[in-house]
Amino acid sequence: MAGIKFEKVWKRFGEVSVLKDLNIDINDGEFLVLVGPSGCGKSTALRCLAGLEEITDGNIWIGDRVVNDVPPKDRDIAMVFQSYALYPHMSVYDNMAFGLKLRKLPKTEIDTRVKEAAEMLSIGHLLDRKPKALSGGQRQRVALGRAIVRDPSVFLMDEPLSNLDAKLRVQTRAEISRLHQRLKTTFIYVTHDQTEALTMGTRIAVMRDGILQQLDTPQNLYDSPANMFVAGFIGSPSMNFFEAKLDRVQGGLAVVVGKEFVVPVPSSATEQLGTHVGKNIYFGIRPEDIHDAHYVPRGVDESARLMTMVNVIEPLGSEVYAYIENSGKEFVGRLDPRTGARTGQQVEIVVDMNKMHVFDRETEKALV
């Protein structure tokens, strides 16, 4: 068991900096997810931790030792890759036992570890099969089992579910979460899928262009994003953003997007935003905080109302995605399935301004 620390870590390939002054403290037993778009440096950070890449500057700690110059085999970590990396000529049993045999463990201990891990992952009946006789989900479990039998201090997982179909991803996601609860070991998991990040992580590190944008719990990232990038990356569908202005309207503070798109700022945020009156801002609101005026959830302030034109409707059974327009700005709302909104017709909506987000126009940092 071990905590992890990235301390001012830089990684350069020639003139290109892939990691830029990365500082992350990962607690012992934590499930940390590194998330971000392709090319943001998340897999590179994992490979540096595993020892598969040398860092250019800074320190990486595993437990109480700096491992910059420690070979991968001596770092007490196990890695699960996107490609299962199984030996095709070996049985499931031999694939899982291979690393233990190299360490010259007694046969009885190897047998016990392999069978316990196989039972944990429900692949005990597959131990005699070769990888070609397994489904994608079964192969991924074998790759997980091979990591588990090593009993490492840290598990590293690099997009392990991206080769699975949608249903299997959900199932395997839950299995990995249960595995973490059972083993109580440090897990570091890389993905570009924000749904995986939100459902699995104890904390999430959002990265962009090699720079850590925000490190927090899933709920705090969703509720209080530090900047527009995090706000847009976390949540599905993405947050709606508008170029707007903060102004005084009828004695109160309001967000002005267009002539017909004026929404009052709640009193709870007025003090924070008072110094920005008259300034251009970015206004953000999540689709789930936009409601059909006829079906507003209990407790939502209904004072921010807008008439909108419906451009597209996507019924999903439990909810309806409505692509709506006001003042030439199109945005999406997640409406109650009972909504009467229809394509080409008008619908009145209520914007829950207590859930609004406001960002500085120049820095894109959150103001509320």
Higher pLDDT, 51 or 99: 51
| pLDDT beyond 80 at 286 | yes
The fraction of the chain above a pLDDT of 90, given in percent, is 75
Q: Specify the pLDDT at position 257.
A: 96
pLDDT band at 291 (very low <50, low <70, confident <90, very high): very high
Span 209-233, average pLDDT: 97
In angstroms, rounded to a whole number, what is the distance separating the alpha carbons of residues 190 and 34?
A: 5
Residue-level pLDDT at 174: 87
Give mean pLDDT, residues 57-61: 97
pLDDT at 164 over 80: no
Tokens standing for residue 169: 């991803």
Pick the more confident residue, 137 or 311.
311
The 8-class DSSP code of residue 365 comes to B
Q: Which of 261, 275, 272 is nearest to 309 (CA)?
A: 261
CB 345 within 8 A of CB 308: no
Q: Reply yes or no on whether the pLDDT at 103 is more than 90.
A: no
pLDDT beyond 80 at 82: no
Q: Is the pLDDT of residue 208 over 80?
A: yes
Residue 83 has pLDDT above 80, yes or no: no
Q: What is the mean pLDDT of residues 160-188?
A: 86
Distances (CA, A) of 196 to 106, 159, 204: 38, 10, 10
> Cα separation of 306 and 348, whole Å?
6
- Provide the pLDDT for residue 44: 96
Q: Is the pLDDT of residue 306 over 80?
A: yes
Q: Give the pLDDT score at 95.
A: 93
Are 128 and 81 in contact by the 8 Å Cβ rule? The answer is no
pLDDT at 1 over 70: no
What pLDDT is stored for residue 183 in this prediction?
86
Torsion of Cα atoms, 154 then 155 then 159 then 163, to 10°: 170
Query: Is the model's pLDDT at 358 over the cut of 90?
Result: yes
Beta-sheet strands, E only, within 164-304:
186-191, 203-208, 211-216, 240-249, 252-258, 261-264, 280-285, 290-292
Confidence of residue 187 (pLDDT cuts 50, 70, 90): very high
Domains of the chain (ranges plus CATH)?
4-233 (3.40.50.300), 240-293+302-360 (2.40.50.140)
pLDDT digits (tens, 9 = 90+) for 11-28: 999 999 999 999 999 999
282's tokens: 């970015």
Provide the mean pLDDT of the chain. 93
| Amino acid 121: pLDDT | 83
Closest CA relative to residue 140, chosen from 198, 183, 92, 68: 92
Q: Specify the DSSP element, H or E, that contains 307.
A: strand 305-315
Which pLDDT band holds residue 163 (cuts at 50, 70, 90)? confident
More confident residue, 60 or 195: 60
**% pLDDT > 70, the chain:** 100
What average pLDDT does range 45-53 have in this prediction?
Answer: 95
**How far is C-alpha 148 from the chain's CA centre?**
24
pTM of the model: 0.89
